[in-house]
Structure 1
Amino acid sequence: MHHNPGFLKLVEQVKERIKECTAEEVQVRIAQGEKFYFIDVREDHEYWIDHAAGARHLGKGILERDIESVVPDRNVSIVLYCGGGYRSVLAADALQQMGYRNVASMKGGIKAWRDAAFPLEKDKAI
């Protein structure tokens, strides 16, 4: 996907303020049974195609509105991902501005997860 220069510049600036992790690091945390919120911030239609196994969906468009209902404790660990690791950077920054202290964006997003052949799930049609 081609991203506009202004968007990429913004993401690069925000990366200086947030933490990032790799898909491999997230998979290790899952395998070790670590408790954290794994949140897919992609659009609904992207999530329905497939998503990382165990991930919860809170699209970037509603994340700030709904996060406190889903994750009331601002000290817990949260890992966000999107399609390629750009939107989740911006989402991590927004959550930090809301007082969440342990937020990371997964580098490479679902693409990195798929490339590593980590488990995926699909929502069943309603």
Structure 2
Amino acid sequence: MDHSPGFLRLVNEAKKHVQEITVAEARALLQKDPRVVLLDVREESEWAAGHAEGAQYLGKGVLERDLEKRFPDPNTEIIMYCGGGYRSALTCEAAQKMGYRRVYSLIGGYRALVAAGWPIVKG
């Protein structure tokens, strides 16, 4: 995807403040603790087209509004993913500003999950 320079500046600034993890690290976290949340922050149409097995959905557009309702404990460990790892960096930064400290942005996002053979649910 061809991203605009302004968007890339925002993402690069956010990445300075958030922890990014690989698919392998995400898999290990999820296996170690089933309470860890895998959170898809893409658009609803992207979620419907296919998402990681075991993921929950909370789109970037409503994340700040609904995050505390869905996960009232700011110590909840959350791995966020988008299509390629850009929007999830932004959502992780927003969550951190809301007091969440155990949030991670998945490097490569959904595309990395698919490439790694993660089970995908359609629809």
Q: TM-score, normalised by structure 2?
A: 0.95
The CA deviation string for residues 3-41 of structure 1, in whole angstroms up to 9 with x for no partner, is: 011111111111111111011111222333442111100
Tell me the distance in 1 between the aligned counterparts of 2:32 and 2:101: 22
Question: What amino acid sits opposite 1:99 in the alignment?
Answer: G
Within a 5 Å distance, the mapping from 1:53-72 to structure 2 comes to: 53-72=53-72
The CA deviation string for residues 22-63 of structure 1, in whole angstroms up to 9 with x for no partner, is: 111112223334421111000000000111110000000011
Partner SS state of residue 61, structure 1: helix
Percentage of identical aligned residues = 46
Q: How many pairs align?
A: 123
Alpha-carbon RMSD across the aligned residues, in angstroms, is: 1.0
Aligned to 1:98: 98
Structure 1 unmatched ranges of 5 or more: none
Question: What amino acid sits opposite 1:109 in the alignment?
Answer: G
Question: What amino acid sits opposite 2:32 in the alignment?
Answer: Q
Structure 2 unmatched ranges of 5 or more: none
The CA deviation string for residues 66-89 of structure 1, in whole angstroms up to 9 with x for no partner, is: 111110000121110000000000
Tell me the distance in 1 between the aligned counterparts of 2:43 and 2:95: 18
Within a 5 Å distance, the mapping from 1:1-126 to structure 2 comes to: 1-123=1-123
The CA deviation string for residues 73-117 of structure 1, in whole angstroms up to 9 with x for no partner, is: 001211100000000000000000011111110010000000111
Tell me the distance in 1 between the aligned counterparts of 2:31 and 2:97: 30
